[in-house]
Structure 1
Amino acid sequence: MVLKTFGWSFAVTALGLVAAVFYGGWTAFGVVAILSVLEISLSFDNAVVNAGILKKMSPFWQKIFLTVGILIAVFGMRLVFPVVIVSISAQLGPIEAVDLALTDQNRYEELVTDAHPAIAAFGGMFLLMIFLDFIFEDRDIKWLGWLERPLAKLGKVDMLSVCIALIVLLITSMTFATHAHLHAGPADKAETVLLSGVAGLITYLVVGGLSGYFEDKLEEEEEREHEAEEEAVRAGKPRSAVVLAGKAAFFMFLYLEVLDASFSFDGVIGAFAITNDIVLMALGLGIGAMYVRSLTVYLVRQGTLDEYVYLEHGAHYAIGALAVILLVTIQYEISELITGSIGVLLIAASFWSSVRRNKALAAAESGSSGKTEVSSGV
Structure 2
Amino acid sequence: MVLKTFGWSFAITALGLVAAVFYDGWTAFGVVAILAVLEISLSFDNAVINAGILKKMNAFWQKIFLTVGVLIAVFGMRLVFPVVIVAVSAKLGPIEAVKLALNDKDKYQQLVTDAHPSIAAFGGMFLLMIFLDFIFEERDVQWLRWIERPLAKLGKVDMLSVCIAMIVLLISSFTVATHAHQHGGAHVDKAETVLISGIAGLITYLIVGGLSGFFENRLEEEEEREHEAEEEARKSGKAAPAIVMAGKAAFFMFLYLEVLDASFSFDGVIGAFAITNDIVLMALGLGIGAMYVRSLTVYLVRQGTLDDYVYLEHGAHYAIGALAVILMITIQYEINEVITGLIGVVLIAWSFWSSVRRNSRIAAAEGKATAPGEKAEVSSGL
Q: Which runs of 5+ in 2 are unaligned?
A: 230-242, 375-382
Q: Counterpart in 2 of 1:242?
A: none
TM-score of the pair, normalised by structure 2: 0.80
The 1-side partners of 2:38 and 2:92 are apart by 28
Letter in 1 for 2:7: G
| Structure 1 residues 96 and 311: CA distance shift in structure 2, 3 A | farther
Pairs within 5 Å for 1:1-378: 1-16=1-16, 22=26, 24=28, 26=30, 29-54=33-58, 57=59, 63-183=63-183, 185-216=186-217, 218=219, 222=222, 249-272=246-269, 274-276=271-273, 277=277, 278-279=279-280, 282-368=283-369, 371=370
Q: What is the CA distance between 1:195 and its match in structure 2?
A: 1.4
Is 1:122–1:201's contact at 8 Å kept on the other side of the alignment? yes
Secondary structure class of the residue paired with 1:43: helix
Is 1:35–1:285's contact at 8 Å kept on the other side of the alignment? yes
The 1-side partners of 2:189 and 2:348 are apart by 36
Is 1:273–1:336's contact at 8 Å kept on the other side of the alignment? no
Secondary structure class of the residue paired with 1:157: coil
Q: What is the CA distance between 1:306 and its match in structure 2?
A: 0.5
Is 1:177–1:188's contact at 8 Å kept on the other side of the alignment? yes
| Structure 1 residues 187 and 345: CA distance shift in structure 2, 3 A | same
Letter in 1 for 2:94: P
Aligned length: 350
Secondary structure class of the residue paired with 1:331: coil
Is 2:306–2:313's contact at 8 Å kept on the other side of the alignment? no
* CA deviation map 1:145-196 (0-9, x unaligned): 1111111111111111111111111111111111111225211111111111
The 1-side partners of 2:338 and 2:300 are apart by 30
The 2-side partners of 1:280 and 1:352 are apart by 36
Letter in 1 for 2:9: S
Secondary structure class of the residue paired with 1:91: coil
Letter in 1 for 2:43: E
The 2-side partners of 1:211 and 1:76 are apart by 22
Secondary structure class of the residue paired with 1:266: helix
Residue identity (%)? 66
Deviates most, 157-166 or 358-367: 358-367
Is 1:309–1:354's contact at 8 Å kept on the other side of the alignment? yes
Q: What is the CA distance between 1:76 and its match in structure 2?
A: 3.9
* CA deviation map 1:308-357 (0-9, x unaligned): 11111111111111111111111111112112211111111111211222
The 1-side partners of 2:69 and 2:165 are apart by 31
| Structure 1 residues 46 and 203: CA distance shift in structure 2, 3 A | same
Q: Which runs of 5+ in 1 are unaligned?
A: 230-244
Letter in 2 for 1:254: F
